[in-house]
Chain A
Amino acid sequence: MRYSILSLARQALAGHAGWPEAWRKPAPKPRYDVVIIGGGGHGLASAYYLAKLHGIRNVAVLERGWIGGGNTGRNTTIVRSNYFLKDNAFFYEHALKLWEGLSRDLNFNVMFSQRGNIILSHDFGGAEGAKMRYNALRLNGIDGEYLSREEVRRRVPDLDFSPTARFPVFGAVNQVRSGVARHDAVAWGYARAADALGVDIIENCEVTGFDIVGGEVRGVRTTRGDIAAGKVGIAVAGHSGQVAAMAGLRLPIETHLLQAMVSEPVKPFIDTVVISPGLHVYVSQTDKGEVLMGGALDGYNSYSQRGTWPTIEDVVSASVSLFPRLRGLRLMRTWGGVMDMTMDGSPIISKTPIRHLYIDGGWCYGGFKATPGSGWVFAHTIANDAPHRLNEGYTLERFRSGRTLTERGLGNVPHHH
């Protein structure tokens, strides 16, 4: 059933008894042309584009828990394409363009709202550096503007503009077209749309092993039986290492913990996303009114999804120093995700040494914003057994050739990226 104000009204009169399931719950078939491991945004998007753009519909998405239950349901929902290196800039910009039409494409409101992404500069040097990175953006055909201190004050009046601010607002750069989206809606929207095209979404199905013969993958073993597959794509974010190990692969990934937290809901107060490089914090406000705050990684390998207290102190202190009015609010909820941090800070969307086995992972902080883009190129890579121009640089080989992609010029220390 198509979603619209009309169907909503019609169903309202019928007591909402007639809404169909958003996606079916089929039992797994013995064989699929493509099996995607991981029912997060990336896996679901890949399945959708395989069906929609490549006509490959005999596809299953296997999710060991409930779809969108990993990082897709835990991120801070920021969408942007203001990356410095060309590979990243072009890829994320492609994703951003897909975001701009996504709700209509999926017939599911993912609540994509382009409200800008304001990165503060705290001194002249910082502003120079930010401008240089935004010049790169502009020369890659992507939007970006510089805001003077006064312009920042008009846009975000509640920042600390007092003369005693430890990290004063000198200016800012802003990508106007960036914004936020509702993370759960992205998983559900892709699931529903993929399901409508015939993709089987199999929840509570954990992959326990691969069937690999002669260097080629033939299928997977799961808690719900063996499933044969022509091709297999891995899209499991923080657990990439575990799944890859089942295929005998080691990855340039370390899994780290990233926390986020929200205040109690309050009336609208911040209508954009504000980032302070000096304080290592970013702040926005959800449509429910919660002030959403995030910062740096906890700093050591973890799959616990529980965060450490010092990070919470850091993030809250930093948010309060950016927005002094936050001091009187209350912190309502904190949570954490498992981040697949690569050794260069950039993602991996690649063939693997095993024929017909592909991997989408290593997203660091960039996974949610990439979702439509990664699904799009991963589907292309799987369908054509070759990367698209947009993910040519995201191969596993780059770690052997030395063509690593490090946005901030840092080395092989994952938790620095």
Chain B
Amino acid sequence: MLLIDCPCCGERPEDEFGFGGDATVRHPNEAGAGDPPGIEAFADYLYLRDNPKGWHSEFWVHRYGCRRWLVVERHTVTHEVRSVGLAASGGEG
């Protein structure tokens, strides 16, 4: 059972959190700032994932605590966690 060191709340067990998936995917045209992406680029954003067997930068939300979004670097085989940061501070992998 993972222990996640929430920057707001301290070390809390995984069942207080919700998993938010890969933190490295980027919308090809976030908030419509530029030109609309082709449908292929958008589809790749929506559906393709690296799915690494190793270190993974991912989102978690402290659902039963402060409800903040976190960026966590976790190894998908050993489950070792090497960093936890607030997503809002730009703490991304």
**Chain A positions near chain B (C-beta within 8 angstroms):** 239, 241-242, 250-255, 299-304, 308-310, 343, 399-400, 402, 412-415
Contacts and interface: CB of A to CB of B under 8 A. Distances in A.
Contacts of A239: 53
A304 B77 contact: yes
A141 B47 CA distance: 32
Contacts of B46: 343, 399, 412
Contact of A253 (B14, B49, B56): B49
Contact of B19 (A252, A299, A343, A399): A299
B50 interface: yes
Contacts of A308: 1-2, 14
A251 B48 contact: yes
Contacts of B50: 241, 250
A301 B39 contact: no
A124 B3 CA distance: 40
Interface string B66-79: 00000000101111
Nearest to A411: B46
Contacts of A252: 47-49
Contacts of B74: 300
B44 to A, nearest CB: 7
10 A-B pairs closest in CB distance: A241-B51, A252-B47, A250-B48, A399-B47, A300-B19, A310-B15, A343-B47, A400-B43, A309-B1, A303-B53
12 contacts: A254-B22, A254-B49, A254-B51, A255-B76, A300-B2, A301-B22, A301-B51, A301-B76, A308-B14, A399-B47, A402-B43, A413-B21
B77 A412 contact: no
A242 B53 contact: yes
B76 A302 contact: yes
Interface of B: 1-2, 14-15, 18-19, 21-22, 39-40, 43-44, 46-53, 56, 58, 74, 76-79
B60 to A, nearest CB: 8
B43 A250 contact: no
Contacts of B78: 304
Contacts of A303: 53, 76-77
A301 to B, nearest CB: 5
A251 B58 contact: no
Given A300-B58, A301-B76, A304-B79, A412 B47 contact: yes
Given A250-B44, A308-B1, A308-B14, A255 B51 contact: yes
A253 B51 contact: yes
Point out which of A299, A302, A309, A414 has the most chain B C-beta atoms below 10 A from its C-beta: A302
A254 B21 contact: yes
Contacts of A310: 1, 14-15
B43 A399 contact: yes
Contacts of A250: 44, 48-50
Contacts of A251: 48-49, 51
A361 B69 CA distance: 32
A414 B49 CA distance: 11
A259 to B, nearest CB: 13
Given A252-B49, A255-B76, A400-B43, 6 more contacts: A254-B21, A254-B49, A255-B53, A303-B77, A310-B15, A402-B43
A315 B60 CA distance: 23
Task: From A255, A300, A309, A412, name the one whose CB has the most chain B CB atoms within 10 angstroms.
Answer: A300
A402 B43 CA distance: 8
Contacts of B19: 299-300, 415
Contact of A400 (B18, B40, B53, B79): B40
A156 B82 CA distance: 48
A255 B19 CA distance: 13
